[in-house]
Amino acid sequence: MLGVWRLQLLREVGRRGTIRAAAAAMSITPSAVSQQLRILEAEAGVPLLEPHGRLVRLTEAGEMLVRHADAITAAIVAAESELAATRAEIVGTLRVAAFPTAARALVPGIIGALGRAHPRLRLTLRDLETDESLAALRLDEVDLALVDEYDEVTRVREPGIELIHLMEDPLYVALPPALAPPGASAPMPLASLAAVPWIMDTETSNIYRAVLRHFRRAGLEPTVRSNCRDYGVIIALVEAGLGAAVLPGLALRERDVRATVMPLDPPLHRRVMVALKPERRSHPAVAAMLAALGPPSTV
């Protein structure tokens, strides 16, 4: 009979491409993974892995077994959720991922509140961009994630992942005092900022690419002076007079900013969502986290 544990090991090797990476994910030694997979291949009677450059990949038979492993794992998660619901209190570990501004503005207070309400529940947080969070969800490294999307290009499309709309997060333009019109509060037309240098997120980030597309639709090709991932640094550079920046609302929450902040014209916003596998939604710890995040709202 095929062992569930060995099927899960095969799935991890297929996903990650190496024995070593799968071993690290499953917290065992590479030699133990190799040994268990040899046993699984003997049980199956056919090769399940084959070399692919420096990596390994699943054979056709291996892919078939992994599809069954996915179904088995989903059934195990559902069983764990039902079992957890019979307990008088919420216990265990809840693994959360969030993109950086949500990790700063939304998650700490919620983790603190849940920890006080459920002392035997341990919550962990990983600061991940949306694509990293989705990969972690696929690999069952986290239980739920806060993710964002800006436009059709960045729209989250992930088979087997449920999305729950949480809020709309508008984006703003921040100008140093020398560049801001007196008493400015109305939406700032992008066309009027053609000569302004910009401080932007890193070029690989979704927000950088979405903002760049937004600028180009408005007929503006921005001059980017600096790229930074940390919004605290971006705001400091704007306050120092080095350029303007486009900032999401969550980056401004509970933060004193000396720059002049105005809505964008044309407007731009992002959708903030919770992403999770459907079979995890009924788990009491996940349900508690969803309740703490609250109903859909706007920033």
In tens, the pLDDT along 147-187 reads: 999 988 888 888 889 999 999 999 999 998 777 766 666 78
d(CA 138, CA 125): 17
Structure confidence at residue 24 (pLDDT): 80
Structure confidence at residue 299 (pLDDT): 43
Q: Which residue has the tokens 């077994």?
A: 65
228 sits in which H/E element: none
Weakest-pLDDT range from 15-24, 97-106, 112-121, 192-201: 15-24
Q: State what percent of residues in the chain have pLDDT above 70.
A: 92
Q: Radius of gyration over alpha carbons of the chain, in Å?
A: 23
Q: How confident is the model at residue 6 (pLDDT cuts 50, 70, 90)?
A: confident
Structure confidence at residue 137 (pLDDT): 87
Say if residues 220 and 190 touch (Cβ distance below 8 Å).
Answer: yes
Predicted TM-score (pTM) of the model is 0.75
In CATH terms, the fold of domain 90-167+272-298 is D-Maltodextrin-Binding Protein; domain 2 (3.40.190)
Say if residues 260 and 184 touch (Cβ distance below 8 Å).
Answer: yes
Domain ranges of the chain: 4-84, 90-167+272-298, 169-269
Question: 48: which 2 tokens?
Answer: 């399940």
In tens, the pLDDT along 239-284 reads: 999 999 999 999 999 888 889 999 999 999 999 999 999 888 888 8
Which of the two residues, 184 and 117, has the higher pLDDT score? 117
- The architecture of the domain spanning 169-269 is 3-Layer(aba) Sandwich (3.40)
Structure confidence at residue 184 (pLDDT): 60
169-269 has the same fold as 90-167+272-298:
yes
Write b or e for each residue in 108-127: b if 16 or more Cβ atoms lie within 10 A of its Cβ, otherwise e: eebbeebeeebeebebebee
In tens, the pLDDT along 73-95 reads: 777 766 666 666 656 678 888 99
Structure confidence at residue 298 (pLDDT): 42
Structure confidence at residue 160 (pLDDT): 83
In tens, the pLDDT along 51-69 reads: 888 888 888 888 888 887 7
Mean pLDDT of the chain: 86
Q: State what percent of residues in the chain have pLDDT above 90.
A: 43
Structure confidence at residue 261 (pLDDT): 92
d(CA 97, CA 134): 9
Strands 269-276 and 162-175: antiparallel
Structure confidence at residue 192 (pLDDT): 86
Q: How confident is the model at residue 99 (pLDDT cuts 50, 70, 90)?
A: very high
72 sits in which H/E element: helix 60-85
Q: Which one is the CATH code of 4-84: 1.10.3720.10, 1.10.10.10, 2.130.10.10, 3.30.470.10?
A: 1.10.10.10
